[in-house]
Amino acid sequence: MSTAVSPLAPPDVPEMPVIAGVRLATAAAGIRYKGRTDVLLALLDKGTTVAGVFTKSKCPSAPVEWCRAKLKGGAARALVVNSGNANAFTGKTGKASTALTAQIAAKAVGCSTSDVFLASTGVIGEPLDATKFDGVLAQLAETATPGLWMDAAKAIMTTDTFPKVATATVKLGKAKVTINGMAKGAGMIMPDMATMLSFIFTDAPLSAGVLQSLLKAGVEDTFNALTIDGDTSTSDTLLAFATGAAAANGAPKISRASDPRLKAFTKAFQQILADLSEQVARDGEGARKLVEVVVEGATTKPSARKIAMSIANSPLVKTAIAGEDANWGRVVMAVGKAGEPANRDKLSISFNGIRVAKSGARDPSYNEKEVSEAMKAPKIQIKVALGLGKAKDRVLTCDLTKEYVAINGDYRS
Give SS3 for 119: strand
Residue 34 in marked binding region: no
Instruction: Write the DSSP assignment of 146-157 as a string of letters.
Output: TT-HHHHHHHT-
Q: DSSP character for 398?
A: E
Alpha helices in 60-90 (DSSP H): 62-71
Element (H, E) at 84: strand 78-85
Return d(Cα 194, Cα 238) in angstroms, integer: 6
Q: What is the edge-to-edge ordering of all strands in the sheet holding 22-27?
A: 22-27, 39-44, 78-85, 116-123
Instruction: Residue count of the chain, please give it.
Output: 413
Q: Are 36 and 1 in contact (CB under 8 A)?
A: yes
Q: Is 46 annotated as a binding residue?
A: no
Tell me: is residue 403 an annotated ligand-binding position. no
Active-site residue, from 178, 195, 243, 401: 195
373 carries a ligand binding annotation: no
- Cα gap 76→328, rounded to integer Å: 50
Is 237 labelled as part of a ligand binding site? no
Residue 90 annotated to the active site: no
Strand (E) or helix (H) holding 358:
strand 354-358
The letter for the amino acid at 39 is V
In angstroms, rounded to a whole number, what is the distance separating the alpha carbons of residues 27 and 301?
A: 44
Pairing of strands 348-351, 354-358: antiparallel
- Residues forming a β-bridge with 320: none
Residue 408 annotated in ligand binding: yes
Q: How far is CA 103 from the centre of its chain?
A: 28
User: Residue 345 contacts by C-beta under 8 Å, 6 or more apart in sequence?
Assistant: 359, 360
Q: Amino acid letter at 277?
A: S
Residue 109: C-alpha distances to residues 101, 113, 293, 329 (Å): 12, 10, 45, 58
Give the residue numbers marked as catalytic. 195
Q: Which residues are annotated as a binding site for substrate?
A: 158, 184, 195, 285, 408, 413
